[in-house]
């Protein structure tokens, strides 16, 4: 049976469905980020505590992804992805009615567990169902759904909150996601090249431990923690800074700042090509230097410098992340899916742990404390990338 090819109706359906799936997943995951200052006021909690509404979701997502990819080997790709999107959409709607901060956190914990169903499986589905010459564009469309969804979720919630309330904003995200989830269910082609395999947790554990024993992969996992930890920390607390004096920006304007995500679409491709010329380590360093520069620019009081700094920081993050994540695929000799899952585990763990820790620096030292924390984190990535260059490659192609 032929695989999906570019130009066919089935290929277009698969692409649009997975674009929608990525859009849903990341809009739901990050829709709370511009709302953190609102939560601190309404529920009378600190900035660090308020940030848990994102941190607990990314952490449970990280853990769940380690196992759901293996479950899909036995249960199938489309059923798990469809169930993940439908349940996630319903949970967002329930979250909008949270009477207390504890119930809000409870729904967000459950959200992370359920959301893991799509990102853990989507790339495996594409790899099985799309013919090799069309795979690049299919992956690109799916990933663009991720970035656009993350950006749109923040902008939509910020804007609707300004007009009505955060509860209506989250309910709107849930309703939009539910419609798109139903569309995904009916339009994603069924798997034709998937062969169920028995669930072997022992083999999964063995491969995960094996990857953690590889010093190069361990360095890359730690870099993932640092990159995402610093990135989420900046975006978690920039809203607090810009809503306060002397800026007094509206929730809508703060939400629209996330449009700088579009710089990542260019930087990830540009740095990927640059690494073919200069080498992965040098380009990773370039990305880190750009991130540090962008973070320091936000220390200037002038609003224009802050926005430019955020854009520069975002540009460097997506470029560095694209280098580190592709390096994992090159380094892992076997069980590549588990290696990628571990990378994402550390990636989202950084979001959870550093993203919350940044709140303590905000409370004690303000924006200067947040940037100091971010810069210190990023400086740790330089010796890790230097260590990578001293480790002998496992494959000649590396």
CATH of residue 44's domain is 1.20.1250.20
Examine residue 397 and state whether it is found in any structural domain, yes or no. no
Q: What is the 3-state secondary structure (H, E, C) of the chain?
A: CCCECCCCHHHHHHHHHHHHHHHHHHHHHHCCHHHHHHHHHHCCCCHHHHCHHHHHHHHHHHHHHHHHHHHHHHHCHHHHHHHHHHHHHHHHHHHCCCCCHHHHHHHHHHHHHHHCCCCCCHHHHHHHHECHHHHHHHHHHHHHHHHHHHHHHHHHHHHHHHHCCHHHHHHHHHHHHHHHHHHHHHHCCCCCCCCCCCCCHHHHHHHHHHHHCCHHHHHHHHHHHHHHHHHHHHHHHHHHHHHCCCCCCCHHHHHHHHHHHHHHHHHHHHHHHHHHHHCHHHHHHHHHHHHHHHHHHCCCCCHHHHHHHHHHHHHHHHHHHHHHHHHHHHHCCCCHHHHHHHHHHHHHHHHHHHHHHHHHHHHHHHHHHHHHHHHHHHHHHHHHHHHHHHCCCCCCCC
Which residue in this structure is represented by tokens 């169930």?
A: 83
CB 255 within 8 A of CB 34: yes
The confidence score (pLDDT) of residue 375 equals 98
* Residues 212, 89 share a domain: no
The confidence score (pLDDT) of residue 335 equals 61
* Residues 344, 251 share a domain: yes
pTM: 0.88
* Residues 266, 303 share a domain: yes
* Residues 215, 186 share a domain: no
| Boundary (domain end) residue, out of 150, 180, 199 | 199
Examine residue 250 and state whether it is found in any structural domain, yes or no. yes
Alpha carbon distance 71, 231 (integer Å): 30
* Residues 267, 158 share a domain: no
* Residues 45, 114 share a domain: yes
Q: Is the dihedral of CA 17, 126, 348, 237 positive or negative?
A: negative
Task: Note down the domain range covering 381.
Answer: 200-392
The confidence score (pLDDT) of residue 336 equals 66
| Boundary (domain end) residue, out of 177, 199, 221 | 199
| Boundary (domain end) residue, out of 199, 234, 251 | 199
* Residues 336, 231 share a domain: yes
Domain count, the chain: 2
* Residues 223, 116 share a domain: no
* Residues 81, 150 share a domain: yes
The confidence score (pLDDT) of residue 394 equals 58
The confidence score (pLDDT) of residue 46 equals 96
Q: Per residue of the chain (398 residues), give pLDDT as tens.
A: 688 888 899 999 999 999 999 999 999 999 999 999 999 999 999 999 999 999 999 999 999 988 887 777 777 789 999 999 999 999 999 999 999 999 999 999 999 999 998 987 887 788 788 888 887 688 778 877 888 898 999 999 999 999 999 999 999 999 999 999 999 999 999 888 877 777 666 767 777 788 888 899 999 999 999 999 999 999 999 999 999 999 999 989 988 988 988 887 778 778 877 887 888 889 999 999 999 999 999 999 999 999 999 999 999 998 898 888 878 867 776 666 677 778 889 999 999 999 999 999 999 999 999 999 999 999 999 999 988 877 876 554 43
CB 226 within 8 A of CB 353: no
The confidence score (pLDDT) of residue 219 equals 94
* Residues 182, 213 share a domain: no
């Amino acid at each position: 049976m032929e695989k999906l090819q570019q130009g066919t109706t089935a290929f277009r359906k698969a692409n649009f469905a997975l674009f929608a799936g990525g859009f849903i997943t990341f809009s739901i995951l990050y829709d709370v980020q511009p709302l953190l200052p609102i939560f601190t006021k309404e529920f009378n909690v600190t900035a660090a505590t308020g940030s848990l509404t994102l941190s607990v979701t990314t952490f449970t997502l990280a853990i769940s992804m380690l196992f759901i990819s293996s479950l899909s080997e036995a249960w199938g790709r489309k059923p798990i992805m469809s169930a993940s999107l439908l349940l996630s959409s319903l949970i967002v709607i329930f979250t909008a009615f949270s009477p207390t901060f504890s119930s809000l956190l409870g729904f967000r914990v459950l959200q992370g567990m359920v959301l893991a169903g799509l990102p853990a499986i989507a790339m495996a589905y594409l790899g099985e169902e799309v013919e090799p010459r069309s795979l690049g564009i299919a992956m690109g469309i799916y990933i663009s759904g991720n970035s656009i969804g993350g950006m749109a979720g923040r902008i939509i919630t910020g804007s609707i909150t300004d007009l009505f309330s955060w509860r209506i904003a989250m309910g709107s995200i849930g309703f939009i996601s539910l419609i798109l989830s139903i569309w995904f269910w009916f339009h994603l082609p069924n798997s034709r090249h998937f062969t169920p395999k028995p669930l072997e947790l022992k083999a999964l554990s063995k491969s995960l431990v094996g990857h953690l024993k590889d010093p190069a992969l361990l360095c890359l996992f730690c870099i993932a923690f640092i990159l995402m930890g610093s990135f989420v920390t900046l975006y978690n607390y920039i809203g607090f800074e810009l809503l306060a004096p002397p800026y007094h920006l509206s929730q809508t304007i703060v939400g629209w700042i996330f449009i700088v995500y579009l710089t990542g679409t260019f930087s990830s491709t540009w740095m990927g090509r640059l690494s073919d010329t200069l080498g992965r380590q040098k380009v990773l360093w370039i990305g880190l230097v750009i991130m540090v520069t962008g973070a320091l620019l936000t220390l200037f009081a002038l609003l224009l410098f802050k926005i430019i700094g955020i854009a520069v920081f975002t540009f460097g993050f997506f470029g560095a992340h694209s280098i580190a994540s592709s390096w994992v695929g090159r380094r892992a000799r076997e069980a590549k899916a588990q290696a990628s899952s571990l990378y994402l585990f550390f990636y989202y763990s950084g979001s959870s742990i550093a993203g919350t820790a940044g709140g303590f620096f905000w409370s004690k030292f303000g924006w200067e404390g947040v940037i100091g924390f971010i810069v210190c984190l990023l400086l740790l990535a330089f010796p890790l990338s230097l260590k990578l260059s001293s480790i002998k490659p496992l494959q000649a192609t590396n």
